[in-house]
């Protein structure tokens, strides 16, 4: 069989280059995995973080950006320090795993579209983001790079509204907040997002980060969590 031929299909599909492997995330307590279709992210969703980035939370509607599905990195991985930055930042976030798709989803129905929950980190090239903001340019180079979406195992039980979200670097706490500090709550995020995209099973939504974002360097160990969800740990490889 040549590279790219599907062994599962009677009518063999042949691709001109090898097709990408399906990106996926482990499901806690199971051998099954959650297949990742797209990664959506919410910017500016905790007032203290909006202020630390120099914006006014009251004036900001939810903003969305994306990362490629294969930016996911699973728990326990050693990640290379990203190319093209000297200011790689962590942003701990609650992640929603969409199980049922839809457009124009009503807030009242939104949680029925969520299959599970996880903790993730929206790794960011802060220097490239500052340049993009100044130039009014897209954020892709700042946000959508390889290995930019570490994520813990997905679990089906939702964290409490007042669950603690936290991140530590080398054991020192850097971010700590409550989920109910979010400006846009989970149902509002899903409702807003589904007005611009038809959500699909397999989509992940990173819901924004609280205050305390900062740099990580080669050799650092990051641990983070949301109460009741499996913790996420990763290291930045030594240079
Ligand atoms: Mn973020």
CATH number at residue 98: 3.90.850.10
Ligand 1 centroid, distance to 11 Cα (angstroms):
43
Ligand 1 centroid, distance to 16 Cα (angstroms):
36
Ligand 1 centroid, distance to 150 Cα (angstroms):
12
53 pLDDT more than 70: yes
Asked, for residue 208, whether it belongs to a domain, the answer is yes
Q: What is the pLDDT of residues 142-159, one digit of tens each?
A: 999 999 999 999 999 999
Asked, for residue 77, whether it belongs to a domain, the answer is yes
Ligand 1 centroid, distance to 21 Cα (angstroms):
26
Ligand 1 centroid, distance to 9 Cα (angstroms):
40
pLDDT of amino acid 10: 56
Q: What is the pLDDT of residues 136-146, one digit of tens each?
A: 999 999 999 99
Rounded Cα distance, 149 and 123, in Å: 6
Rounded Cα distance, 171 and 165, in Å: 15
Asked, for residue 131, whether it belongs to a domain, the answer is yes
User: What percent of the chain is predicted at pLDDT more than 90?
Assistant: 85
| All residues at 6 or more sequence positions from 178 whose CB lies less than 8 Å from its CB, including other chains | 162, 163, 164, 165
pLDDT of amino acid 74: 97
- Report the number of distinct structural domains present in the chain: 1
Asked, for residue 47, whether it belongs to a domain, the answer is yes
């Amino acid at each position: 069989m040549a590279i790219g031929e599907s062994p599962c299909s009677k009518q063999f599909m042949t691709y001109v280059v090898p097709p990408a492997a399906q990106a996926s995330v482990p499901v806690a307590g199971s051998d099954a995995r959650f297949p990742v279709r797209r990664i959506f992210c919410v910017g500016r969703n905790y007032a203290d973080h909006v202020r630390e980035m120099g914006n006014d939370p009251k004036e900001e509607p939810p903003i969305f950006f994306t990362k490629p599905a294969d930016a996911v990195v699973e728990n326990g991985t050693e990640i290379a320090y990203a190319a093209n930055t000297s200011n790689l930042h962590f942003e701990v976030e609650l992640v929603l795993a969409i199980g049922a798709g839809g457009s124009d989803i009503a807030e009242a129905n939104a949680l029925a579209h969520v299959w599970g929950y996880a903790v993730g980190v929206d790794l960011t090239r802060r220097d490239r983001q500052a340049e993009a903001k100044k130039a009014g340019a897209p954020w892709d180079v700042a946000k959508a790079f390889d290995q930019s979406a570490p994520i813990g195992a997905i679990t089906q039980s939702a964290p409490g509204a007042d669950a603690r979200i936290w991140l530590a670097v080398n054991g020192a706490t850097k971010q700590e907040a409550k989920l109910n500090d979010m400006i846009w709550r989970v149902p509002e995020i899903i409702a807003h997002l589904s007005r611009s995209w038809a959500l699909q099973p397999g989509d992940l939504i990173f819901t924004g980060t609280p205050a305390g974002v900062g740099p990580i360097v080669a050799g650092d160990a990051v641990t983070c969590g949301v109460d009741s969800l499996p913790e996420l740990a990763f290291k930045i490889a030594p240079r």
